[in-house]
Structure 1
């Protein structure tokens, strides 16, 4: 063994000065273990330590300690161990002693195959490769960090564990792909961390949260948090087994869309937010009682404070800490599945926030985003989103990994892909990416829903990719609900002049597979509430809202209602407040709420109302030309079940002895009446049903003579509900 005063042991290698001043991009060439024949020289850098000692495993068993020499006042310590011997570090700080393994004694952990897949955008389970992951290496527990910053000169992990000092844990660069990695022993879940990045010009960019973080601090704090590893404790085997059937084109799908923070506030306090577990306790019974098949969440990903509803995500891999730890979100999904409710998330792949602690200008360049002015030259308060650079395979892989993570790790049942912020000049990139995304989901999670919400050029949105389409399960249809709303905003005496606007909607009803929706964007802030847009006194406005809902629930297409529409709020949605629950039990609101639940249950119970949602044979006009009376009638069909006749009287006048053609002789049950007294209506109807008469009208050989209620919708069928 060499003598401890052998000066050759303490000769510092080239690059040490850069390490000391925080500009070294190759810390493993200096720190850690380096063989010198019979011994390994060990160098460590702890500028705030009082002393550092080596704890060396003896060949005959046990441990021995040896002092390390501090090199001047640099914070660099040098010692030696027998070649290949195991060692730990005993560090004396001002407030105690720490014993730990040396982070720079561990080899690179990412395989060449993983690096190759990352750079090509094809990495399976990319979220398990990148980011911060607790693991054991050679029986040593710690956390492996990996981050993509190809243009950086130096990247370090910083956190409470190293007093946010970027000199303490500089990372190893894998130069072929621009990934930096390090294994830090002794760390575990719950630790806060960020990345300190020195850009190519030698400037430290604002400290960055981890793009792949699974957990984050509660905003406005901005650090990432090391999450737990492993799967969540699921109890939803029955749901997952049956999910493909529940989400098929011919299944009844009704979505209750909500913004989780403003659905309900604890004690009504706008400063408070329900936890994921509190939402599970309150929201799940509400959605179940209302008869919806799915809960659809506006983005739950971590997002900036102040100017975003979550539509410009900061953390594409972590549920917002505003509602508690990520495991709580998993319990919410599990609770939904336990009562037969699916979960759909809004997912935003085409824009990023300009917040300086996020992905923007991550390594000093436009890395994830298209080139733009440097973020620190503009005000983040503008809230101007950046466009993702989908021309880079690494960015596409990052986004696809996010989508698959929500579907696989959190058992989410579908994603509503919001593309409305897509810049026109990037449409081709978006189109190619959407096909790639949908092919990946179809391969990995074939029973998941992927829903488009606009922004794509051309047709074929819901056509399979192999047939030249985009491969989505469904597309949002805002045109039909908006067209109906506009029609109903007219005074009833003039609605006949706009009759053709409703008829025109049927021409496009099957051009794609649709979900009919009145979205949150048409309900927020200065936008009037849906109820307040309709003319007349309170009774007429509520009756018109009942027409709106019952018309859409009978129209071909799956259904989506934004939170609150089930009890007809008279004020606009305020994302900083909560729904006006104090009005939900008032007479007319309670009637609408009861009707919405009955519509959902009827839609599920009558195959003719849902099985033909996506096929032209499921719909046929019966009366499309009665502009004088503003009456519409159509039939919903299913080959194996009784058809349902829908009658809509768009005026406040009762229509007596109204003749309508039907395809079959027999008794037609009145299975739904939006004017029922229980719903707040006047109770005008047909006493439970009518017997058809044998004469030809409207192309059918039989007719029913009906009383049409004022501002009312009737559903009639020869089968009783549930029979």
Structure 2
């Protein structure tokens, strides 16, 4: 062997160790060359028979010798310090990836990319170990490093797989729990900061940043009944009421230094709580591995790894499985809009702008100090598309809520003139990102039409929930940010001046059926100095509660699916703090406990009343009654289901003045039960209302054939349904 080859290995510059190390035929014999830095001697055990290898002269750490032509071998190393160890030679194993994998990765069309890349515990050529594969096309060398090789990047150098840019190696006898990173020699010959695995299935606890080998195969699901009937729970006609959760701060264990609850604990406590509260779905803020707690998960590094903060992958599956067995859907926030600049992450992964754009005018978010994915690069798009499918298939996630869609759609998002690059037609739309979102929806729904995709999209981009074949983006639902901003602005206004903002509660109905909307009161409304929902409400402490109860009553009656961030169901007084837990002690106050009961009863009514959810996305299910009573700040409307399903009439009085004898229009005569009154004593109100029922007479009123005189309690919402 040429001495120069040994020198390159010693200097960490060699890129093809498989051409130098391992067994190879030489003049009819089988010659083994091994690299064992720090070894005093090295022998090969072939079928139990030792063969002493000779140290190469003037090539410290290299050993060579002839071994029997057949039989697998182990290496026996005696160190210069006298220690010994036995291990298998990774350079005695052939490749794992096939030509089809290589071709599909190169084409950017590998739909199950996580089966090819990442770290997989497996049996290869009859030996147990772990296969590592990573995409780094511009690297001169890629090595797997960890405690198993003293973090020496000269040793387990991977095999380059042609033009695909993929490097792979099978490391025998490594398995579950192995800590590893990739050492990469960039195109300029410089060793990069050690990199975590972009497709790794597990990571270390922060602030440590290495990947961990996790065997995610072999989980025994028990959610068959839920999965087979999931389509009915995710449909636009279904009652969908979402409890948004930051798992790290929902509840903490005070007996263990305030640690966040685990996935397994959440499988019991959180699932039971959400079920009791009547929500239909849990939505988790991002649970992909992320280095910084303060990002709440929105700056992920390990896109294929559930964060270890709450346990290993199978325990995350325990949580999903428990939710499904309890009849709850699970949504996961997914972040394809950007990624952090952390040195161990995707940033300049192989020494070049690989996942990101080279030009910061295209590839950097000034607001968040993060990189933007290069959606136009086929391999990057493949990485993201496969990641979406990964969560839906491997973890039975019922839907993905896609974060920051607006920032993806527009090249000039939060940029001044001259700070962005137009598209090929000179416009601001990001064609490549739009294509990625469409493909994501096509693939997600194509794999399983029962899933749900949700866009957090704050602009008027047309057709977000229109099918792709009709020119839309193909999402199932869209957050109604306009409704949220308008109605919260109104509710924060002193009731004395609400008449001047009357339209803010009605304007949403001019576009309410243009998309399949979710009405979101999310974490974004209770952070960064915005205070809590209760704190936003005007008036005395009791009036604050009354306003918030009325707002929730209006929200649950309004067309659109519902989303409420944790803690707001009982009116937590303080702004949300990701580093603590919810203020569960507030429930000792009857007003907080009453608000919690109201939300539970609103969910129960919403789920059990088709008129309140069947046509959330259709004008067939809504009709105004009082729409112009601005001076009194009164609104009334009717929600309707299908033929034969009883309607619900809703009346809202959003001033602190009691409205006795108010005429409301109803679609039919007879007795109507008061099925909801946010001023009821059990919710912390004063108990004013209509003694449980009203009588509708045959007289025209506000466009309806029947009418009733009702009492509208101050700062309240009342709902009526025909008695059967």
TM-score by length of 2: 0.94
Partner of residue 433, structure 1:
436
> Is 1:476 aligned to residue 479 of structure 2?
yes
Partner of residue 39, structure 1:
29
- CA distance in 2 between counterparts of 1:210 and 1:709 reads 59
> Is 1:602 aligned to residue 605 of structure 2?
yes
Instruction: Answer whether contact 1:13 1:30 (CA < 8 A) is retained.
Output: no
Structure 2 vs 1, CA of residues 381 and 43 (structure 1 numbering), >3 Å: closer, same or farther?
A: farther
Instruction: Answer whether contact 2:203 2:211 (CA < 8 A) is retained.
Output: yes
Instruction: Answer whether contact 1:656 1:708 (CA < 8 A) is retained.
Output: yes
Partner of residue 155, structure 2:
168
Structure 2 vs 1, CA of residues 382 and 658 (structure 1 numbering), >3 Å: closer, same or farther?
A: closer
Give the stretch that moved more between structures: 507-516 or 574-583: 574-583
Partner of residue 717, structure 1:
721
Structure 2 vs 1, CA of residues 555 and 713 (structure 1 numbering), >3 Å: closer, same or farther?
A: same
SS at match of 1:389: coil
Instruction: Answer whether contact 1:270 1:577 (CA < 8 A) is retained.
Output: no
Q: CA deviation at 1:13?
A: 6.8
> Is 1:580 aligned to residue 583 of structure 2?
yes
Instruction: Answer whether contact 1:354 1:383 (CA < 8 A) is retained.
Output: no
- CA distance in 1 between counterparts of 2:350 and 2:119 reads 18
> Is 1:348 aligned to residue 335 of structure 2?
yes
Instruction: Answer whether contact 1:482 1:518 (CA < 8 A) is retained.
Output: no
Partner of residue 298, structure 1:
285
> Is 1:508 aligned to residue 508 of structure 2?
no
Q: CA deviation at 1:629?
A: 1.4
- CA distance in 1 between counterparts of 2:410 and 2:445 reads 27
Q: CA deviation at 1:84?
A: 4.3
SS at match of 1:561: strand
- CA distance in 2 between counterparts of 1:19 and 1:362 reads 22
Question: What does residue range 631-670 of structure 1 map to in structure 2 within 5 Å?
Answer: 631-640=634-643, 641-670=645-674
- CA distance in 1 between counterparts of 2:534 and 2:255 reads 23
Q: CA deviation at 1:383?
A: 6.0
Structure 2 vs 1, CA of residues 600 and 232 (structure 1 numbering), >3 Å: closer, same or farther?
A: same
Partner of residue 76, structure 1:
62
Partner of residue 491, structure 1:
494
Structure 2 vs 1, CA of residues 540 and 422 (structure 1 numbering), >3 Å: closer, same or farther?
A: same
Q: CA deviation at 1:268?
A: 8.2
Instruction: Answer whether contact 2:458 2:481 (CA < 8 A) is retained.
Output: no
> Is 1:25 aligned to residue 15 of structure 2?
yes
Question: What does residue range 301-700 of structure 1 map to in structure 2 within 5 Å?
Answer: 301-371=288-358, 384-418=369-403, 419-422=405-408, 424-425=410-411, 427-454=430-457, 458-640=461-643, 641-700=645-704
SS at match of 2:259: coil
Q: CA deviation at 1:272?
A: 2.0
Work out the number of aligned pairs and report it. 701
Instruction: Answer whether contact 2:523 2:565 (CA < 8 A) is retained.
Output: yes
Q: Which runs of 5+ in 1 are unaligned?
A: 1-10, 58-62
- CA distance in 2 between counterparts of 1:268 and 1:369 reads 43
Partner of residue 258, structure 1:
245
- CA distance in 1 between counterparts of 2:255 and 2:381 reads 41
> Is 1:201 aligned to residue 201 of structure 2?
no
- CA distance in 2 between counterparts of 1:270 and 1:595 reads 33
Q: CA deviation at 1:457?
A: 6.9
SS at match of 2:33: strand
- Residues 494-545 of structure 1: CA deviation (Å, up to 9, x unaligned): 2122112222111010110000001211211422212112211011110000
Give the stretch that moved more between structures: 402-411 or 100-109: 100-109
- CA distance in 1 between counterparts of 2:46 and 2:63 reads 16
Partner of residue 235, structure 1:
222
Instruction: Answer whether contact 1:481 1:552 (CA < 8 A) is retained.
Output: no
Q: CA deviation at 1:691?
A: 1.4
Q: CA deviation at 1:98?
A: 3.0
Q: CA deviation at 1:456?
A: 7.0
- Residues 54-98 of structure 1: CA deviation (Å, up to 9, x unaligned): 1223xxxxx321101111352111112233443232223446433
Structure 2 vs 1, CA of residues 56 and 382 (structure 1 numbering), >3 Å: closer, same or farther?
A: farther
- CA distance in 1 between counterparts of 2:498 and 2:96 reads 69
Over the aligned positions, Cα root-mean-square deviation in angstroms equals: 2.0
> Is 1:90 aligned to residue 80 of structure 2?
no
Instruction: Answer whether contact 1:609 1:637 (CA < 8 A) is retained.
Output: yes
Q: CA deviation at 1:161?
A: 0.5
- Residues 651-694 of structure 1: CA deviation (Å, up to 9, x unaligned): 11111111111111111110110000000111111111111111
Q: CA deviation at 1:219?
A: 0.5
SS at match of 2:164: coil
Give the stretch that moved more between structures: 667-676 or 382-391: 382-391
Instruction: Answer whether contact 1:70 1:78 (CA < 8 A) is retained.
Output: yes
Partner of residue 40, structure 2:
50
Q: CA deviation at 1:271?
A: 5.5
Instruction: Answer whether contact 1:37 1:83 (CA < 8 A) is retained.
Output: no
Instruction: Answer whether contact 2:299 2:338 (CA < 8 A) is retained.
Output: yes
- CA distance in 2 between counterparts of 1:514 and 1:439 reads 19
SS at match of 2:43: strand
Partner of residue 7, structure 1:
none
- Residues 29-57 of structure 1: CA deviation (Å, up to 9, x unaligned): 10111111321111111102232111223
Q: CA deviation at 1:270?
A: 7.4
- Residues 415-457 of structure 1: CA deviation (Å, up to 9, x unaligned): 1001254383273221110001111111112211110001677
Q: CA deviation at 1:607?
A: 0.5
- CA distance in 2 between counterparts of 1:649 and 1:348 reads 40
Q: CA deviation at 1:243?
A: 0.5
Partner of residue 179, structure 1:
166
SS at match of 2:344: coil
Q: CA deviation at 1:471?
A: 0.6
Instruction: Answer whether contact 1:462 1:469 (CA < 8 A) is retained.
Output: yes
- CA distance in 2 between counterparts of 1:573 and 1:354 reads 26
- CA distance in 2 between counterparts of 1:710 and 1:269 reads 46
Instruction: Answer whether contact 1:210 1:224 (CA < 8 A) is retained.
Output: yes
Q: CA deviation at 1:603?
A: 0.2
Instruction: Answer whether contact 2:45 2:51 (CA < 8 A) is retained.
Output: yes
TM-score by length of 1: 0.94
Instruction: Answer whether contact 1:525 1:574 (CA < 8 A) is retained.
Output: no
Partner of residue 701, structure 1:
705
Partner of residue 5, structure 1:
none
> Is 1:115 aligned to residue 102 of structure 2?
yes
